[in-house]
Amino acid sequence: MKMDWREQVVLVTGGTGSFGRRFTKIMLEEFKPKKLIIFSRDELKQMEMRAAYDDRGDSPMRYFIGDVRDRDRLVRAMHGVTIVVHAAALKQVPACEYNPFEAVQTNILGSKNVIDAALETGVQHALILCTDKAVSPTNLYGATKLCAEKLFVHGNAYSGREGCRFAAARYGNVVGSRGSVIPLFLKQRETGGLSITDERMTRFWITLDQGVRFVIKCLEIMKGGEIFVPKIPSMRVTDLADVIGPGCSREITGIRNGEKVHEVLLSIDEARGAREYEDMYIIHPSDPWWGHSIHPNGKALPEGFSFCSDTNPSWLTHDDLRRILELEMKVSFTTATAGR
């Protein structure tokens, strides 16, 4: 059944981030929720967002200052909420490595607080945004997101038959997100030289619009306990460098601590409990008390299957990358690039 978003009260943790702002835009323009609550800890970003999406008069927008570390504040914010999108996280890998206790407090314990508050206030659906770095993690950020993902999947054990349903949406690098390689390359090309950690590196790529629409679809079809993985293309970092900085010199700096050459969205072990659909894979909960396949119409995956960025059958070409950068980042390729 199609969800009637006009009857939904939606809360987004970390709602002033890149995802939250695009989610808000699409929700207001296309889905018209009854109420949309932005929950975040940065008052300046809320003020800036309020200028674009006013909360006065008959606007569905509401803004709550709060931190996911504060369980009581989450409970207060979730009264009357039907849907929660949990996007708040510390996500910069070097910062998490240097401040591990802070990463645990926000990404793991903060996720537990979101689950507890959703259970206490009668939320119907709660979905966490996760990352390919949670699969076989090699850094603390990935490890904390793996724990958070597990908490959401197994949070269904606490909700009972009629309580809140929890699930996870796991996807790859978002084009142009803060701290990502694109803003770095755009800045570096002005000097005529780009820094690349490893020329073999590949990554999954998804645009903000694609990420938001994927999350909305997951919310509409989730039954509780799933991990949703979109079928998205891969890109080579060297191809990205070719497009952003043709003619620029390159410095190979070496892989950073906790960084992978290739990413994995669906591991071999997870694939045994997953099914393939037209535009996604769904990892079904493995606990016996679920009782049956909750999305039965998918195709079983062959033994040994995994969804990896280097063996992905779908790749972005130079033209694809150029078109995405023009649309998402407003990058112009009509003028001469520094270093040519």
Evaluated on CA atoms 11, 16, 22, 26, the torsion sign reads positive
Decide if 133 is catalytic: yes
Please state, in angstroms and rounded to a whole number, the distance separating the CA atoms of residues 114 and 94: 25
Contact 158, 119 (CB under 8 A): yes
Q: Please calculate the CA angle 110-114-115 and round it to the nearest 5 degrees.
A: 120
Contact 332, 326 (CB under 8 A): yes
Q: Which of 91, 133, 145, 260 is catalytic?
A: 133
The secondary element (H helix, E strand) that includes residue 184 is helix 181-188
Q: Tell me the DSSP string of 51-110.
A: HHS--STT--EEEEE--TT-HHHHHHHTTT--EEEE------HHHHHH-HHHHIIIIIIH
Contact 281, 229 (CB under 8 A): yes
Which of helix, strand or coil describes residue 164?
coil
CA distances from residue 206 to 86, 253, 318, 331 in whole angstroms, order as listed = 18, 26, 15, 17
CA distances from residue 233 to 80, 239, 305 in whole angstroms, order as listed = 38, 13, 17
Question: What Rg do the C-alpha atoms of the chain give, in angstroms?
Answer: 20
Q: Residue 198, exposed/middle/buried by CB under 10 A (0-12, 13-18, 19+)?
A: middle
Name the amino acid, one letter, at 228.
Answer: F
Phi, psi of 33, rounded to the nearest 5 degrees: -65, 155
Please state, in angstroms and rounded to a whole number, the distance separating the CA atoms of residues 84 and 188: 38
Contact 291, 213 (CB under 8 A): no
Which residues are identified as catalytic?
133
